Chain A
């Protein structure tokens, strides 16, 4: 079966970045971002680029400084909080 992953460099040969070096937090311009995406074979898509304007980069930068396990632990805490808020909201509405 043909898949979209054909031609992609196998991940096991790619160095994982768990803790990234600090940088100036400046937002890259569209051309700089496009150049990075093209290195991985992704042509910028105008629809996706429109959605990208709403992505909070500060959250991503924070997450990239954490280990994968720290990311999952924070995520599990956020899910538990969301669940509790849903329960409280339903309870407040008398359900």
Chain B
């Protein structure tokens, strides 16, 4: 299903979940044209925030993406504390929850490099363009080469004005 971006951003913002939008949707916010289907969040791994995160997302029936149906998966704070990164389907679209991002680190390390943008009536933290490029360059994944090329072109176009 196509992700309901406003819905996903809204449930996090309404409950005060501390999370930064990274990857494809962050690139979109900066002007990229490449499509992505999921929303990637770098979330803060404090107990309170994990509680808020699970409260926000649980009504939307998160389930591990690509896993066979019927697994005894419980989306609760204990599960999130025991793991780190989760790729999920939900009733409002695919959501990736990352405790650490490749090339970037944790929420606390990344938050100084994020920007607060007014989107869908809320203030949303989004990874900055320069940090997005730097993290993808550092991760060195061949699948990111096209994205890096677009992001660097975007930086040049933004700055040349």
Q: Which residues of B contact A8 (CB under 8 A)?
A: 113, 130-131, 134
Q: Which residues of B contact A55 (CB under 8 A)?
A: 149-150, 153
- Is B71 positioned at the interface, with any CB of A under 8 Å from its CB? no
- Is A28 positioned at the interface, with any CB of B under 8 Å from its CB? yes
Count of residues in B whose CB is under 8 Å from the partner chain: 55
Q: Which residues of B contact A5 (CB under 8 A)?
A: 103-105, 109-110, 113, 131, 134-135
- Is A10 positioned at the interface, with any CB of B under 8 Å from its CB? yes
Interface of A is mostly: helix
* 1/0 contact string of B91-108 vs chain A (CB within 8 Å): 000000000000111100
B158 close to A48 (CB less than 8 A): no
- Is B29 positioned at the interface, with any CB of A under 8 Å from its CB? yes
B152 close to A42 (CB less than 8 A): yes
Q: Which residues of A contact B119 (CB under 8 A)?
A: 68-69, 72
Residues A60 and B31 in contact in the complex (CB < 8 Å), given A11-B113, A51-B149: yes
Residues A76 and B6 in contact in the complex (CB < 8 Å), given A3-B109, A11-B115, A69-B119: yes
The one of A3, A17, A45 that contacts B158, using a Cβ cutoff of 8 Å: A17
The one of B1, B118, B157 that contacts A60, using a Cβ cutoff of 8 Å: B157
- Is A1 positioned at the interface, with any CB of B under 8 Å from its CB? yes
B155 close to A36 (CB less than 8 A): yes
Q: Which residues of B contact A68 (CB under 8 A)?
A: 29-30, 117-119, 126
Q: Which residues of A contact B6 (CB under 8 A)?
A: 76
- Is B3 positioned at the interface, with any CB of A under 8 Å from its CB? yes
- How far, in Å, is B36 (CB) from chain A's closest CB? 8
- Is B75 positioned at the interface, with any CB of A under 8 Å from its CB? no
- Is A88 positioned at the interface, with any CB of B under 8 Å from its CB? no
The one of B1, B2, B115, B154 that contacts A16, using a Cβ cutoff of 8 Å: B115
Residues A79 and B2 in contact in the complex (CB < 8 Å), given A4-B137, A48-B145: yes
Q: Which residues of A pack against B, CB within 8 Å?
A: 1, 3-5, 8-12, 14, 16-17, 20-23, 28, 32-33, 36-37, 39-42, 45, 47-49, 51-52, 54-57, 59-61, 63-64, 66, 68-69, 71-72, 75-76, 78-80, 82-83
- Is B28 positioned at the interface, with any CB of A under 8 Å from its CB? yes
A57 close to B106 (CB less than 8 A): no
B158 close to A20 (CB less than 8 A): yes
Q: Which residues of A contact B114 (CB under 8 A)?
A: 11
Q: List 9 A-B contacts (CB under 8 A).
A: A11-B114, A21-B161, A36-B156, A48-B152, A51-B145, A52-B153, A68-B117, A68-B118, A68-B119
